[in-house]
Structure formats: C-alpha cells, structure tokens
C-alpha cells in the first residue's frame, strides 16, 4: 500500500456524506434541471461506464478483486482513503442516482470498498489514476495507454462538474 497522507480531514467523512445529502435534497432538483449540468452529467456517466468496461476487458477488475481478497485493507483501498473525498464528488454520485456506501466492510478497509471492489460510481482522482505495479505488469503498453486516456476523459468531466457545482452552490 502506498504511503498516503490525508489532505482533507477538516470534517469527518460521515459529515461530508451528510452534507452531500443535504445539498442534494436542497438543490438537487435545480442542479439536475440545469441544461449544462444535465449535459455534463450525461457525458460523465458515459465516460465512467466506459472506464469500468475497459477495466473489465483488460482484467483489472478481476485482478483488484483478487488483491483485495488477499491483502488486509483491500490492496490500495485501505481505511482513511475515504477521507480524501469531499462533498462535491459525493454529491455527483447522488446526482447520478447512485448510493453512497456508509457501512465499512472491515476496519482496515476504505469505507466505500465492497465485497467485489469499489462501490462508488463517481470517484476521487486518486482512485481513478492509481495503477500499482501488479496492474502495470498485467497490462501491455497499448492497454495502459488506452486506460490512461480513458481515465483522462472521466477526470476532465469530473473536474468540469466540480467547478460548476462549487460556483452554483457558493452563490
Ligand atoms: S490497484 Fe493494485 S493494489 Fe490496488 S487493488 Fe488493484 S491490484 Fe491491488
Ligand atoms: S473509493 Fe473505492 S477505489 Fe477508492 S480507495 Fe475506496 S474502495 Fe478503493
């Protein structure tokens, strides 16, 4: 497991989840009816699905599930990583009609880790970008390049949506 350091520990993950749910209940309808947000959410959803499809096709999902079963703390999905999330990425999950997990599987696991892998749909950039040596060894250069390019598309849309949400919700 890499040497992580927390950079978003000002409020607990439980408080961030509660804040995301509050923002969704208070502003969710207005945000979802905004044509630009709706357009970007549609594109974002497609790119996340494409990323998962690519990871399945290249065997990454299976490899990570095996790793998570072998290594305490779920390989790179250890306890504490959930603290890196902020309310905006969590809110994106709710806007995409996805649930935010709140039950931790094991005390060494990330709060969002499930029995067969991550249960979040919209994820932090670390979770999208991190490919350990096991995955680097598994994939050939063309597959790695395809996965990196796909991750970039997903991350760009996430970034665009976060900027809009921050602007709309801070006004
Ligand atoms: S990215 Fe690597 S360390 Fe993380 S779960 Fe997958 S195989 Fe394990
Ligand atoms: S959010 Fe998902 S991918 Fe990221 S560390 Fe937690 S379980 Fe793993």
Q: What is the tens place of the pLDDT at every residue in 42-63? A: 999 999 999 999 999 999 999 9
Phi/psi at 78 (nearest 5 deg)? -90, 165
Residue nearest to atom 7 of ligand 1 (CA): 64
Tokens of 94: 């709710």
Q: Which atom of ligand 1 is nearest to the CA of 71?
A: 8
Q: Does the beta carbon of 63 lie inside 6 Å of ligand 1?
A: yes
**pTM score, two decimals?**
0.90
In whole angstroms, how far apart are CA 34 and each of 38, 97, 157, 166? 6, 16, 16, 14
CB 61 less than 6 A from any atom of ligand 1: no
Shortest-distance Cα residue to atom 6 of ligand 1 = 64
Residue 3 has pLDDT above 50, yes or no: no
Closest ligand to C-alpha of residue 51 is 2
SS3 percent helix, strand, coil of the chain, rounded to 5, is 65, 5, 35
Task: Extract the tokens encoding 1.
Answer: 């497991």
Number of residues assigned to the chain: 171
HSE toward the beta carbon, residue 12, CA cutoff 13 A: 5
Answer yes or no: are the C-beta atoms of 162 and 93 closer than 8 Å: no
Q: How far is the CA of 77 from the centre of ligand 1 (A)?
A: 8
Q: Give yes or no for a contact between 113 and 68, defined as CB atoms under 8 angstroms apart.
A: yes
Question: Which ligand is nearest to the Cα of residue 64, counting in written order?
Answer: 1
Give the per-residue pLDDT at 117. 86
Whether residue 73 has pLDDT greater than 70: no
Mean pLDDT of the 91-100 span: 97
CA–CA separation, 98 vs 17, rounded Å? 13
Residue 157: pLDDT above 80? yes
Read off the pLDDT of residues 106-144 as tens digits, 9 standing for 90 and up: 888 899 998 888 999 999 999 999 999 999 999 999 999
Ligand 1 nearest atom to the CA of residue 64, by list position: 6
Distance CA(100)–CA(110), nearest Å, equals 13
Output the CA 27–ligand 1 centroid distance in Å.
Answer: 36
Quote the tokens at residue 91: 């809110």
**Ligand 1 centroid distance, CA of 133 (Å):** 8
Q: Please list, in sequence order, all residues whose beta carbon lies within 8 angstroms of the beta carbon of residue 119, skipping any fewer than 6 positions away.
A: 99, 101, 112, 113
Q: How confident is the model at residue 6 (pLDDT cuts 50, 70, 90)?
A: very low
Give the model confidence (pLDDT) of 11-43 as tens digits. 899 999 999 999 999 999 999 999 999 999 999
Ligand in closest contact with the CA of 112: 2
- Measured at the alpha carbon of residue 57, what is the angle toward residues 54 and 61, in degrees to the nearest 5? 85
State residue 10's pLDDT score.
74
């Amino acid at each position: 497991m890499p040497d992580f350091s927390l950079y978003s520990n000002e409020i607990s993950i439980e408080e961030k989840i509660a804040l995301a749910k509050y923002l969704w209940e208070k502003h969710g309808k207005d945000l979802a009816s905004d044509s630009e947000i709706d357009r970007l959410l549609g594109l974002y959803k497609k790119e996340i699905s494409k990323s998962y499809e690519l990871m399945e096709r290249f065997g990454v999902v299976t490899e990570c599930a095996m790793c998570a079963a072998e290594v305490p703390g779920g390989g790179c999905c250890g306890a504490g990583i959930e603290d890196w999330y902020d309310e905006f990425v969590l809110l994106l999950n709710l806007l995409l009609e996805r649930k935010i997990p709140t039950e931790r599987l094991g005390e060494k696991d990330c709060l969002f880790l499930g029995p067969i892998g991550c249960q979040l749909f919209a994820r932090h950039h670390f979770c999208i970008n991190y490919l350990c040596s096991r995955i680097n060894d598994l994939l050939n250069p063309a597959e790695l390049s395809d996965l990196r390019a796909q991750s970039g598309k997903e991350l760009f849309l996430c970034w665009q949506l976060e900027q809009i949400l921050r602007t709309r919700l801070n006004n």
